[in-house]
Structure 1
Amino acid sequence: MQKWTKTITSPVRIAFLVFDDFSNLCMANCLEPLRAANAVTHHHMFDWRILTLDGSPARTSSGIQIVPHGELRSMTSCDYLFVHASYGHTGHDTRPTRQALRAAAARAVTVIGLDAGPWLLASSGLLRGRRATVHWDMLTAFSERFLDVEVVRARYLRDGPVMTCAGALSALDMVLDLVSAHLGEAARLDVEDQFIKDPPRTDGTGPGDPLVSRALDLMRDHVERPLSLPALAHRLSCQPRTLDRHFRRSLGAPPGTVYRHLRLSTARKMLEGTGLGVAEIALRCGYESPAALARAVRDRFGATPSALRKRTL
């Protein structure tokens, strides 16, 4: 079961190695959740650099030129090394590339192959004896080429220090799971709200919990006048204890904790993004008084409503 909140003391260090004709949608689905996690927590939780083999600009599959932060050999130790290739991956599969990947993998805690990136990882010997996936258009060719890899049709997989991801939409799910692993489900839920995305999947690969999804929709629709747990369960045609069990299994917290988090996240957005007074925001977020909201905000965010507002001025 995922923890609802977690604390990290230093940024998670990430390196993105990109090859020409990589998918910018896949890249965006990795970077934007990390950016959003930094934004919603107001802390620099994730730090990343974009690299190419030789430090030269790379071109995306849609023709956009990307200027990297540096070359791969300048990469210091990191928590995650994302290897991102898409179209024309066989042209990148050279002896120098394989040597560079093996050297870089030794400086990373976890190596992640995106889209066609697993092909380069397998060719470099980094997937030998492991389970892996790749973009599904390449599954047959991949399995025929790399007999020492157990090929699985999956959105993404982890096997020891290596992860493989099938493509752009899978990348979003994978990175959201990384946000949850490092910051907890509360941060993940806030990031998902930035993308209007369904709640977390219960196992990282399957469909989300329908009961939790419907409950979250009801909670968001009733921020101003919060529903009691029995009333919420009644609308969902289930027992309160059933709802509690589903929330704890899927989100790592009871419904009341999640509900308060959603209301306070809404209050913070209003404090930081509108000119509404604290009394009006308290009313819109279901608090009986400005003082009650102020106490809740201070307990949750460690700052007064006025201090949160000043952050955006």
Structure 2
Amino acid sequence: MTDTHTTPKPYAFLLLPGFSTLGFSCALDALSLANHHPSKQVFYRWRLLSETGEPVEAYNGVKIATDSALTPLDRGETLVVCAGEHAGKAGSKTLLNWLRREARRGNDFGALSSGTYILALAGLIGGKRVTTHWEYKTALAEMLPDVIMEDTIFSIDGRVFTSAGGAASMDMMLHRLRDDYGADLATWVADQMVYTVPRAHSDAQRMSLQSRPEVRNPKLLLAMQVMENNIEDPLSPEEIGGVVGLSTRQLERLFAKYLSISPKRHYLRIRLEKGRNLLRQTDLTVTNVCIACGFKSLSHFSKNYRAAYGIPPGLEATDGKVLWSDHS
């Protein structure tokens, strides 16, 4: 470990209503544990902020007290925006203006989970490589085409860092800790967390299709990938079978054997899941979501949506705000 008895590196965690306690705790505990190193050096200090200075309620109902309202950041203080459910509703004019002003100080700044969306609303990550929780990636990419979305557990682009949230916050902070003080301290902290194999930023957020035991068949895997890559303009079963080298009947038998579902039903499920994410996470109209998911008519989309989720698609949309439902 590098012996650098310097002033502790400062952090400010901005808590937004509905934030993920898991992601926040994983990030904060990495810094806290570093300060318990046998060297007795204090490596980090931190404070908690909220827009009003009042306690902030997380998605699970736990309220966390904060140290102050939106005060100016100290020189070299790193800002971390912690969000979760209903992140879009937290993007008030006051908050966004504060973020823009503080970003101009030149400090590092980042986000956990849907906090990436708040940074985007403030116009701070245009052209940057960023990540967010996998449920929100498609929605954010459609709304903000100038943002480079990565399907990774965390991303670092210059002084901007973003995390998918949940346990990925721990991976990101261990990476930053290693850059600050060296691999020995980062390894010691990981051991204290009983986290024996920290992940690299390039690791994917979800288990790949290839790794899932139910889809080890190569033709089934290819068929599923074809479906996921053709949502806005769905292919027919005959066209999918042609790509993978199977007849329609053979394709149906393959899905029945491994997934206990027909290809048509699986394809519909994928498209409806995308529709649900778009409705919950963006302010796109139901008609636009219908088109984005490859449905020919609004009535057909609504009928299938109600059958799958028990409510019409219009009830998933919020009053012009973005609805996030992050329980990571």
Name structure 1 gaps, 5 residues minimum.
208-313
Aligned match for 1:23, one of 13, 20, 23 = 20
Say how many residue pairs are matched: 203
Match for 2:8: what amino acid? P
**CA shift for structure 1 position 148:** 1.4
Aligned match for 1:65, one of 63, 74, 86 = 63
Counterpart-to-counterpart distance in 1, 2:58 and 2:82: 11
Secondary structure class of the residue paired with 2:12:
strand
Deviations 1:100-129 (A, max 9, x none): 111122235211111100000011110011
Does the 8 A contact of 1:79 with 1:108 survive in 2? no
Q: 1:85 to 1:185 in 2, by over 3 A?
A: same
Counterpart-to-counterpart distance in 2, 1:160 and 1:37: 24
Secondary structure class of the residue paired with 1:100:
helix
Counterpart-to-counterpart distance in 2, 1:103 and 1:140: 29
* RMSD of aligned Cα (Å): 1.7
Counterpart-to-counterpart distance in 1, 2:187 and 2:120: 34
What TM-score do you get using the length of structure 2 for normalisation? 0.59
User: 1:98 maps to what in 2?
Assistant: 96
Does the 8 A contact of 1:15 with 1:78 survive in 2? no
**CA shift for structure 1 position 6:** 4.9
User: 2:83 maps to what in 1?
Assistant: 85
Does the 8 A contact of 2:128 with 2:148 survive in 1? yes
Q: Percent identity?
A: 30
Deviations 1:150-198 (A, max 9, x none): 1111111111111111111110001111111111111111111111112
Counterpart-to-counterpart distance in 2, 1:134 and 1:6: 34
Does the 8 A contact of 1:58 with 1:66 survive in 2? yes
**CA shift for structure 1 position 95:** 2.3
Secondary structure class of the residue paired with 2:30:
helix
User: 2:156 maps to what in 1?
Assistant: 158
Match for 1:90: what amino acid? G
Secondary structure class of the residue paired with 1:168:
coil
Counterpart-to-counterpart distance in 2, 1:28 and 1:162: 20
**CA shift for structure 1 position 200:** 4.3
**CA shift for structure 1 position 8:** 4.7
Secondary structure class of the residue paired with 2:53:
coil
User: 1:133 maps to what in 2?
Assistant: 131
**CA shift for structure 1 position 149:** 0.7
Counterpart-to-counterpart distance in 1, 2:50 and 2:92: 15
**CA shift for structure 1 position 146:** 0.7
What TM-score do you get using the length of structure 1 for normalisation? 0.62
Counterpart-to-counterpart distance in 1, 2:93 and 2:29: 33
Where in structure 2 are the equivalents of 1:37-48 lying within 5 Å?
A: 37-40=34-37, 41-48=39-46
Name structure 2 gaps, 5 residues minimum.
205-328
Counterpart-to-counterpart distance in 2, 1:104 and 1:54: 17
Secondary structure class of the residue paired with 2:66:
coil
Q: 1:137 to 1:8 in 2, by over 3 A?
A: farther
Query: Greater helix percent: which structure?
Result: 1
Counterpart-to-counterpart distance in 1, 2:8 and 2:197: 25
User: 1:5 maps to what in 2?
Assistant: 2
Counterpart-to-counterpart distance in 1, 2:158 and 2:85: 27
